[in-house]
A and B are shown apart, each in its own frame.
Chain A
Amino acid sequence: MKLQVEKVLRQFDGPLTQDLVLEPGKFGLGHIPAKCQPDSTTTTTCGFCSTGCGLTVHLKNGEAINLTPSSHYPVNLGMACPKGWEALTPLAGPDRATTPLWKDIEGVRHSLTWEAAMKTFTSKFKGIQAKYGPESVAFLSTGQIVTEEMAFLGALTKFGMGLIHGDGNTRQCMATAATAYKESFGYDAPPFTYQDFEESDVLVFIGANPCIAHPIMWQRVSRNPHCPEIVVIDPRKTETAMAATQHYAIRPKSDLVLLYGLANRLIENQWIDRGYIAGHTRGYEGFVDHVSSFDSARIVAECDISADDLERLARTIHEGRRVSFWWTMGVNQSHEGTRVAQAIINLALMTGNMGRPGTGANSITGQCNAMGSRLFSNTTNLFGGRDFRNPEHRQVVAHRLGIGVERVPDRNSSAYDQIIEGIDQGKIKGLWIIATNTAHSWIDQNRLNRILDKLEFLVVQDMYHSTETASRADLILPAAGWGEKEGTFINSERRIGLTKKIARAPGQALSDFSIFKLVAEYWGVGCMFREWDSPEAVFQIIKRLSIGQPCDLSGIANYQMLDDCGGVQWPFPSGSQTLATHRRLFEDGRYYHADGRARFVYEQPRSSGEMVCSEYPFLLLTGRGSSAQWHTESRTGKSDILNKLCPTQLWIEINPADAIRLGIQSGQRVRVRSRRGELLGVAHITPTIAAGQVFIPMHYVMTNRLTYAEVDPYSRQPSYKNGAVRVEKAED
């Protein structure tokens, strides 16, 4: 009776309760919501960052309804960062481009049929080429599309359409590491495997904040059973610096001096591996000479680090049996980044920390397919890491593709910044931008936008019609996004992972692959690309192109094999017997230079182009704001959950001492001005940023109004972390 009354009075169940009921899932998923139980699952590779996590997609009638991180994938071991968890959400964005869009003279957009769009595309670009020469049309691509699409774009533009200049947004993240590796190792070859995070006893992170930028790599660090020393060299007390056992908050841009000084300390203390240096390197004597002037006194004076700390750091590296060095954008995005990266490589070489578990000079990549772009985009280097200027290389590529060698340009493409300059100088009149948001992400944005206005024809191919770049386009080509197409990504540890089509693209959006196919047909070069029929067919072409190169992946049979193995790391030449899940390079100490030896590469440090002064007394640092934000947020901004996990307002980190001096309190509006532009944001006062510096996340469109346009002369990667700015309280 009492129970009966209780039942009437209190409803423990009902439709609202049922809405959230969990039921045992099959497929090893454990309990999952009853309302979205899948009828099958499949694994795919995440399309945000270069970690390359495996995601188990929950499918109903072949279509994705949810996803969870793959428990079995060797990269992420059942985990994902918030972006991975939310990977499906951006596909449903209300601003997806669903038809080609044409902007008329009044700036009004009209939708077009694909046919009309393709006719416009070809007639406009061909017209420009006829008038100004073939070089007057260029393209800017991305590290966000699959390798097969990159290869198709590179072949189509350079061999089919006669373009010379095309670069990718990987210039903004990986060019420095690629250049540094190429010079030091003889090939762009990050040597590590993620297992190394777990096997080091000393990990040195330089200009890297993996806790936020690569949380799943940090997961691997947290699994390290050796109680490792974790050293962080970063001007800011980042999340990673908080988690480290040693943090050196050096003066920004003093990293090269510090690293040379550190090499000097190691040499003077005889803390070097003479056998390794003698057996596997060249140029050591010159290097010793070079670093001799970087004595402790100089380091103390230039880097804001004490002599004791310098000694402690050197000793830590010396005492570690397996020391690994890791860097990201703090190094890559610098006016002398290539030399800084090489200074890190030099440390690894001279201490013999190469080729063994838990060692290496390791560049953590940015985008999901930065590595694919470096090897197979056919932009600034020829397919497979070859050289356009090398006749033999041109011959090999032409032969393997079955095209005339005269179709292969004999010079390398201009880099991103040179293409922009080309537009400014009137040499480039037509631009095709694919899956990148230049008008948001490029340095010195106000100037960039003035330059883009000089174009006669701008085509933007993107998932969204609303990006800052798409809104400037004359023609928008609607692209299918990650999850709506298939292909492969190559992650930071050289793992080729498969990404699958598990969602339908909206409206008439087409995969970038199909768009390239259409362009080939309408341009009149369709017959050149008969073999390029499907992504998997192109994968076979890529295999062929890789043969004989260090990145040889011809041993991978097909997509099914990638799916079965949880991705495969290159190199994997045909006939490879072992298929170990984790493989690192240079275990035999042989590098890719002809003599098999790695090089010590070094140079005198230079000061950056813009220094702080009385008018602009603060140094502007930019970087990732939170783990929930991806680059220009064209995708992550579509997820309510991700938006909850990051500040809604542009926030500016200011040191308390500076804030007191300027009379600024947390939460107040602040104006930041550089010689190039200004922005308004909200002050976040925190001692994690040093006095005299401010930090602004890169995800807000205004940030690049301030940045100073300077590139590393070797990698041509922009230096996003060296603008001089003024900070003042904004009037309400």
Chain B
Amino acid sequence: METLDSARFSKAEQVPLRTLIDELLQEQQSLSAVERFSQRHAGDIIPAQQKYYRDLIPLSTPGPGEQYAFQVNLDICTGCKACVSGCHSLNGLDEGESWRQVGLLVGSEESEPYQQTVTAACHHCVEPACMHGCPVAAYDKDFSTGIVRHLDDQCIGCQYCVLKCPYDVPKYHAKKGIVRKCDMCQSRLKVGEAPACVQACPTQAIQITIVKSDEIRLASRPAQQMIAGAFDSSYTQPTTRYHSRKSVPGKIRPADAYQLRLEPAHYPLVFMLVLTQLSVGLFAVQIVNSFCSLSGNGAGMTLLALAAALLGVISSTLHLGRPLGAWRAFLGLRRSWLSREILIFGAYVPAAIFYTALQCLPEFIMPMRSSVTWVLIVSLLVFGFSGVFSSVMIYADTQREFWRLSTTTWKFFGTTLILGAAAAALFSPSLLWVGVVIVLLPIKLTLECDIFRHLQDEGTTSLSHTARILQGTLGRLVMLRFGLAALGLGSLGMEMFSGDSLILRGFAFICLLCGEWLERVYFFRAVKAPRMPGMAGN
């Protein structure tokens, strides 16, 4: 849309000038650098950069008990961050993607003025947590080089390695539905070329060396860390070595230590955890209910419990970037709690289906019905509770403090019992299950409040980090969670006096279910994920 009337200008005036505009526009689109200037190095096979990096990579390959490792000379790393860009460009990564990251360490109040840039990529650990956590064996620690390689085509996008790695190395690529990470440019190393970051460092601060695995093991005693701000090395035994001859002030911290960072909510997992726990709890209560010959609609209970199990499992597949590869989940059984959880719930669901069918069809005649029922009851309880336990272990195994074993255990089993009892109360006029909820829920809520004790922590502990998020950014969510729980509790309290009101019980159940969901949302969002030192203001 033009506001100027070009017709105002005479035709005669326009013609030659129009031609000039067209000519210039056309010229702008022509590219002639190749024709105009001589071509050099066209046939060069030997990399021109080799003269700069020749001394930065080992001459030999690692021997038995040895592996490649990054070595960073902190004294000559001056914060230019070219390693990050170099990795991105030389590896053809997607926009914004790089296997290197750069952070900053700064001095504290009492120290001399101090700052130090810290560059980090994958540490190609001796005991890679990513690999041990992977349910489908999509990680491979190369036997001869020690490089921890990610098999992109094997990955199902469960992102458990992202939770497992304490250095924030594996990065989820949502578009491709998989995780990708640094492979130390193994194809370059194989032919005597330096990895991209080594090639790109203007001051030659990054080097590849050969290290002895035993020495790394020895250097990775509990409470040792690669560098200030890094996670306890004993967990994964990282191989990167940071060297400095400078005196470092006693108290230094990552520049982002105060940053309250929210982690992803992983909603499919939130739903999956709460629903599977509801299912296990409800089946258990139903079994106890019938075992104690209490009144109630047992079939109804089993149907709801089965529905929860199915929804939970379906929800969990929505979490996967490439669910079709999930059949390989048994490959990680030896080390991965996720693999175990998948297999256990995989067995739980058919048991639940058969048990529910038997409960719903009391007239159905089949041989050995009672023994089959017994087998199913035992399977349901064993698979159910061990399934919940493996859920607990998945998170406890990440070494994140907010997810430690004790806390996660009472949270997950608390949800199991509370929601199981609350759901059972919908089908049984007995006040026993209402009473169970009234007793258990306040205990769980009290335990949940315990985190706020850490607001008083000295310095920045990871639990105080979580507590501050729960008090600040996620304050409303936490209020809602406790509000819903109180509402549910209040309804059940009234129910104790008023008798058998399905509306009150139903309302209470929905409040409690939503409350548990919210609790699980901030279970994910408020956890402090360990990572290498980051930058200020990011």
Contact = CB atoms under 8 A, between A and B. Distances in A.
Contacts of A525: none
A667 B258 contact: yes
A525 B89 CA distance: 46
B151 A78 contact: no
B29 interface: yes
Interface string B194-210: 00000111111000000
Interface stretch (B38-46, B344-352, B449-457): B38-46
Interface in B163-203: 176, 178, 180, 185, 187-188, 191, 193, 199-203
A389 to B, nearest CB: 36
A656 interface: yes
Nearest to B98: A641
Contacts of A89: 95
A676 to B, nearest CB: 24
A226 to B, nearest CB: 16
A640 B98 CA distance: 10
A111 B3 CA distance: 9
Interface stretch (A12-20, A301-309, A328-336, A716-724): A12-20
Contacts of B33: 42, 44, 57, 59, 62, 486, 500-502
B44 A684 contact: no
Contact of A239 (B117, B152, B536): B117
A584 B39 CA distance: 30
Contacts of B200: 69, 79-80, 85
B310 interface: no
19 contacts: A21-B187, A26-B43, A40-B39, A42-B39, A44-B33, A80-B82, A82-B85, A211-B78, A216-B202, A239-B79, A239-B117, A243-B75, A510-B28, A514-B28, A521-B17, A627-B82, A645-B535, A649-B537, A687-B106
Interface in B104-162: 106-109, 111-117, 137, 140, 151-155
Interface string A492-536: 000000001111110011110010011001100000000000000
Interface stretch (B19-27, B505-513, B515-523): B19-27
Given A28-B41, A687-B107, 5 more contacts: A32-B90, A563-B38, A640-B95, A651-B536, A687-B113
Contact of A249 (B43, B82, B113, B538): B113
A527 to B, nearest CB: 12
Interface of B: 1-4, 6, 9, 14, 17-18, 20-21, 24-25, 27-29, 31-34, 36-52, 75-76, 78-82, 84-86, 88-93, 95-98, 101-102, 106-109, 111-117, 137, 140, 151-155, 176, 178, 180, 185, 187-188, 191, 193, 199-204, 255, 257-260, 328, 331, 535-538
A543 to B, nearest CB: 19
Main SS at interface, chain B = loop
A672 to B, nearest CB: 14
A647 B152 contact: no
Contact of A59 (B4, B34, B112, B538): B34
Contact of B115 (A30, A72, A242): A242
A504 B86 contact: no
Nearest to B102: A645
Most chain A CB neighbours (cut-off 10 Å) among B31, B38, B52, B91? B31
Contacts of A249: 113
Contacts of A485: 28
B84 A82 contact: yes
Contacts of A657: 109
B2 A651 contact: no
B202 A116 contact: no
Contact of B3 (A28, A43, A57, A110): A110
B85 A641 contact: yes
Contact of A81 (B82, B95, B117): B82
Contact of B92 (A35, A647, A651): A35
Contact of A13 (B25, B42, B93, B153): B153
A480 B30 CA distance: 13
A67 interface: yes
B48 A237 contact: no
Main SS at interface, chain A = mixed
A44 B95 CA distance: 23
Nearest to B42: A27
Contacts of B38: 560, 563-564
A246 interface: no
A607 interface: no
Contacts of A488: none
Contacts of B176: 16, 19
A33 interface: yes
B191 A24 contact: yes
Contacts of B102: 645
B17 A211 contact: no
A446 interface: no
B79 A212 contact: yes
B502 to A, nearest CB: 45
A510 B176 CA distance: 37
Nearest to B204: A222
A504 B537 contact: no
Contacts of B193: 30-31
B537 A650 contact: yes
Nearest to B39: A40
Nearest to A681: B537
A254 interface: no
B73 to A, nearest CB: 10
B153 A17 contact: yes
Contacts of B82: 79-82, 85, 215, 627
